[in-house]
Amino acid sequence: MPLIEIADVRHVVGQAGARRVVLDELDVRLDEQRIGVVGANGSGKSTFARLLNGLVLPTAGRVVVGGFDTRSHGRDVRRRVGFCFTDPDAQIVMPTVAEDVAFGLQRRGRDRAEIDATVRRALTDVGLDHLADSPAHSLSGGEKQLLALCSVLVTEPDLLVLDEPTTLLDLRNAARIAEVVAGLRQQVVLVTHQLDLLDAYDRVLVFDQGRLVADDTPAAAVAAYRALMA
């Protein structure tokens, strides 16, 4: 299981004269199996998620996942960390459903027969096997998010980071995604605005204006977040 260590991280964006601190004084160590992240829009939680697979490198400080520094070992980190974006359209890179699931496997040099079998199995697991040859972008929102999740899971990451995966979905599809995520063996970091999804989580982080302002059990952290937003 990867251990996430974030040491004295500060992240700043923008040019001189218009610089904005997105994350500051972030120092945390995460080894729980289910970790939730909440915060207002612009609080820095999505940047935090992107730090975990090296999509964003901190301006200062270091992020280490499974013993690999995201700055010096980005590839090693990304091989272990799967990432799901809010908008699945941004994540689907191949024209058809099966081809998109196969994409990550092809990059890892698997042979064709093995890839086909793995893709079939993975699509069956999430109930999309009947859509294997369909254009990926003709799917419904829920199906697209399931596809995005499936395409990440098929590469068997040790850590899964989900950046608001249910924000664009209706209640039924959001519940389906939550159900799939709940059954995963992987360590999960879930960024969300749907606080009820975090009830069974081990730990919840609350961000506000780029700072970690609460770090507690779901009940206590959500209460702190609600008080903050009141």
Partner 1 sequence: MSDLALYLPGRSVVHRTAPGVKLALLAVLGVALVWLREPWQIALAAALVAVGYAASGLGPGVVVRQLRVLVWFLLALGLYQLWASGWERAAVVVGSIVVLVLAAGLVTLTTRTTDLTATLTRACRPLRRLGVDPDRVGLLVALGIRAVPQVVTIATEVRDAQRARGVVFAPRAYVVAVVVRSLRTAELLGDALVARGLDD
Select 118 or 209, whichever has its Cβ closest to partner 1. Answer: 118
User: Contact between 103 and partner 1 (CB under 8 A)?
Assistant: yes
- Residue 50 beta carbon to partner 1: minimum distance, rounded to whole angstroms: 8
104 is a site residue for partner 1 (CB under 8 A): yes
Interface with partner 1, residue 141, by CB under 8 A: no
- Residue 61 gets the label, from left (phi > 0), alpha (psi -120 to 50) or beta, of left
**CB of 55 or CB of 222, closer to partner 1:** 55
Our finding on whether 152 is near partner 1 (CB under 8 A) is yes
CB of 49 to partner 1, least distance (A): 11
Question: Is 69 an interacting residue with respect to partner 1 (CB under 8 A)?
Answer: no
Q: Does 22 bind partner 1 (CB under 8 A)?
A: no
Q: Are strands 211-216 and 203-208 parallel, antiparallel or unpaired?
A: antiparallel
Contact between 142 and partner 1 (CB under 8 A)?
A: no
Residue 106 interacting with partner 1 (CB under 8 A): yes
Nearer CB in complex with partner 1: 99/125: 99
Q: Minimum CB separation from partner 1 for residue 107, in Å?
A: 5
The contact set with partner 1 (CB under 8 A) reads 53, 55, 74-75, 78-79, 83, 85, 87, 89-96, 99, 102-104, 106-108, 133, 135, 137-138, 151-152, 155
